[in-house]
Amino acid sequence: DEVRRLADTLNLMLERLESAALRQRRFVSDASHELKTPLATMRPMIEVAESDPDFSDWPGLLTDLKREDERIESLVADLLTLARFDEGAVAGVQEDVDLDQVLGRVAERTAHLVPDMTVEVLGIEPARVRGDAPALERLFWNLSLNAARYGTTRIELSCRALPNGVAEVRVSDDGPGIAPSDRERVFERFVRLDEARGRHEGGTGLGLAVARAIARSHGGDVRVGESSAGALFEVELPLAR
Residues that bind ligand ADP (CB under 6 A): 146-147, 150, 173, 175-176, 178, 186, 191-194, 198, 203-209, 231
| Min separation Cβ 185 and ligand ADP, Å | 8
Closer by beta carbon to ligand ADP, 18 or else 201: 201
β partners of residue 166: 162, 238
Residue closer to ligand ADP, measured from CB, 101 or 227: 227
136-168: string of b/e by CB count within 10 Å (b at 16+)? bbbbbbbbbbbbbbbbeebbbbbbbbeeeebbb
- Min dist CB 29 to ligand ADP, Å, is 18
Nearer to ligand ADP, 99 or 208 (CB): 208
What is the nearest approach in angstroms of ligand ADP to the Cβ of residue 144?
A: 9
Closest to ligand ADP by CB, 176 or 225: 176
Q: What is the smallest separation between the CB atom of 128 and ligand ADP, expressed in angstroms?
A: 27
Question: 142 φ, ψ to 5°?
Answer: -60, -40
Rounded to the nearest angstrom, the gap between the alpha carbon of residue 222 and the centroid of all alpha carbons in its chain is 11
Residue 126 belongs to what H/E stretch?
A: none
